[in-house]
């Protein structure tokens, strides 16, 4: 985890592994979620991040739909739904704005390099 509370998923060319991600997020005592609830929310966050990163440059309609869904979930603000991006980040003790900026930077970097993740 970084000082701001986000797992360092932004390392160049580091594959994002669900088991590693969930374990890293689960180890820290930030936020209020504990035990199985924390693991569930970590897995939900991982899935959203993975869809956002893997399908952003896709051309297929199904892949683009997954990206749009992930993009909307990540960038929607002030949503009080229990499984909203902001609620999940809060429960895990992660700054959602910090994570959004990091994800946007990865996306822009990939576009500039012409890299496809899928």
Q: What is the mean pLDDT of residues 21-37?
A: 76
User: Residues 1-25: what's their mean pLDDT?
Assistant: 54
Query: pLDDT tens digit string along 79-105?
Result: 889 999 999 999 999 999 989 988 888
* pLDDT at site 9: 52
Residue 12: the pLDDT is: 47
Are the CB atoms for 80 and 59 separated by under 8 Å? no
Q: What is the pLDDT of residue 2?
A: 47
The per-residue DSSP string of 69-116 comes to: HHHHHHH--S---TTSHHHHHHHHT--HHHHHHHHHHHHHHHHHHT--
The pLDDT value given to residue 5: 45
């Amino acid at each position: 985890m970084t000082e701001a509370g986000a797992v360092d998923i932004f390392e160049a060319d580091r594959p994002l592994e669900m088991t590693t991600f969930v374990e890293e997020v689960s180890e820290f005592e930030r936020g209020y979620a504990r035990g199985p609830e924390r693991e569930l929310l970590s897995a939900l966050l991982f899935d959203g991040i993975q869809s956002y990163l893997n399908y952003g440059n896709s051309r297929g309609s199904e892949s683009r739909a997954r990206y749009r869904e992930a993009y909307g979930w990540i960038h929607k603000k002030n949503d009080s739904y229990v499984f909203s991006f902001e609620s999940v980040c809060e429960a895990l003790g992660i700054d959602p704005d910090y994570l959004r900026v990091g994800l946007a930077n990865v996306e822009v970097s990939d576009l500039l390099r012409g890299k496809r993740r899928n």
